[in-house]
């Protein structure tokens, strides 16, 4: 094996491990909300196992927060990626940001149930929060 091949292999291994680690370390949440009929009705589910926005009648909204704490000496770049049918109704106050070393931050997820919401339908999705260490400046 040539020296260049060895270096290339080493670099690829490092990149693979880095990506593997980031994917493994990501927080993965299920998000859901149920559209209910009526006006001014909100059903709550404040349990912390998932981003459950409860039951919302048209015109109401729900907010859930995820707290991120960086207890390391390395700044973390946080990237929030989301999928699913709930995605169109869900707003984030920020999707890409840096959490400086030894600080905490918060992501706020808001779901607004529009008048055109399909009553009785449960909208679901997945939210991934990736944390990437690096020399980021906030």
Partner 1 sequence: MKKKLTVAISALGVGLISLPLLVAFEAHVINVTAQIANGILTVPTEITYGTVFPQEKIDKTFQILLSESFLEEPVGEQCASSVESFSQGVRKNGTPVLANRSNPTAALGSPQTSGTPFDNPGPPAGSFVSLGFTLPNNSPNGGTITLGFTNFVVDVAGPDFTVYEVTGGTVYPEERVRVEVSQDGITFETAVASGLRDVAVDISGTSFDWIKFVRITDVSNIVPFESEADAYDLDAVCGTSREHVGIVDYVIRQKPKCGLPVPETSPVEYSEFGQVTEDVDGNFVCVDDGFVQLPLLCPYLSKHEVENPEETPSDNDGPGINAFHGLPLPWTLATAESTDSLVYGVLDALLPDEDDTWVVDLRVPCFAGSCAQDWADFVRTESGNPDIDTELYTADPALEHEIFGCDLWVEVTDIE
Asked whether position 76 contacts partner 1 by CB under 8 A, the answer is: yes
Are 37 and 17 in contact, with CB atoms under 8 Å apart? no
Residue in 37, 65, 81, 94 binding partner 1, rule: CB under 8 A? 65
The CB-of-7 to partner 1 minimum distance in angstroms stands at: 11
Give me 61's structure tokens.
């909204």
By the rule CB under 8 A, 99 interacts with partner 1: yes
In angstroms, rounded to a whole number, what is the distance separating the alpha carbons of residues 40 and 53? 15
Site for partner 1 in 30-49 (CB under 8 A): 32, 34, 38, 40-49
Token couple for 107: 């992501």
Q: Hunting for tokens 């149930």 — which residue is that? A: 113
| Count of residues interacting with partner 1 (CB under 8 A) | 56
Backbone angles phi, psi at 80, to 5 degrees: -105, 120
Rounded to the nearest whole angstrom, what is the least distance from the CB of residue 23 to partner 1 in the complex? Answer: 11
The conformation of residue 121, written as its DSSP 8-state character, comes to P
Least CB distance from residue 39 to partner 1, whole Å? 8
Of these, 19, 23, 63, 119, which contacts partner 1 (CB under 8 A)?
Answer: 63
- As a whole number of angstroms, the distance between CA 35 and CA 55 comes to 6
Which of 3, 4, 5, 118 forms a contact with partner 1 (CB under 8 A)?
Answer: 5
């Amino acid at each position: 094996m040539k020296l260049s091949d060895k270096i290339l292999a080493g670099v690829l291994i490092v990149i693979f491990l880095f990506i593997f680690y980031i994917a493994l370390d990501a927080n993965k949440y299920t998000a859901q909300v149920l559209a209910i009929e009526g006006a001014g009705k909100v059903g709550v589910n404040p349990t912390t196992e998932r981003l459950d926005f409860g039951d919302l009648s048209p015109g109401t909204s729900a907010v859930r927060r995820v707290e991120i704490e960086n207890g390391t000496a390395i700044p973390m770049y946080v990237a929030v990626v989301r999928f699913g049918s709930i995605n169109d109704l869900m707003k984030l106050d920020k999707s890409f940001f840096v959490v400086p070393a030894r600080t905490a931050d918060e992501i706020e997820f808001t779901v607004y149930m529009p008048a055109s919401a399909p009553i009785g339908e449960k909208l679901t999705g997945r939210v991934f929060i990736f944390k990437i260490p690096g020399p980021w400046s906030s």
